[in-house]
Amino acid sequence: MGKKYDLVVKVGEYTDGQGQTKGRFKNVGVMMDGDKGPYILLDRTFNPAGVGGNEGRESIIVSLYEPKQEGGQQAHSAAKADGYQPKARDLDGDDVPF
């Protein structure tokens, strides 16, 4: 399998506990390399018309990010083995875009 990228769209903003404005992001699919070239798997519930902040434009920005190593099937299997118990949240101020 070739490269894989998450497709991410900024869908809004929020104010954190310190009063800073942060972006709110949504992962809308993936782009992958296949035998015949790159292709996109897009979340069928994603509606690009609902993405704000683009007044006067006919397009939106979709960013590509390399996936984080800690997600996917391995995370689901670990959660299932632990009885789907919630984990302690990391509140040290890391700015994770999604």
- 53 sits in the region (left: phi over 0; alpha: psi -120 to 50; else beta) called left
CB contact at 8 A, 18 and 28: no
> At residue 11, does pLDDT exceed 80?
yes
Domain extent listing, the chain: 4-81
Tens digit of each residue's pLDDT (9 = 90 or more) over 13-50 = 899 999 999 988 899 999 999 889 999 999 999 888 88
Tens digit of each residue's pLDDT (9 = 90 or more) over 70-88 = 655 555 555 545 554 555 5
Question: Which pTM value belongs to this model?
Answer: 0.61
> At residue 54, does pLDDT exceed 90?
no
**Tell me, what's the pLDDT at 61?**
87
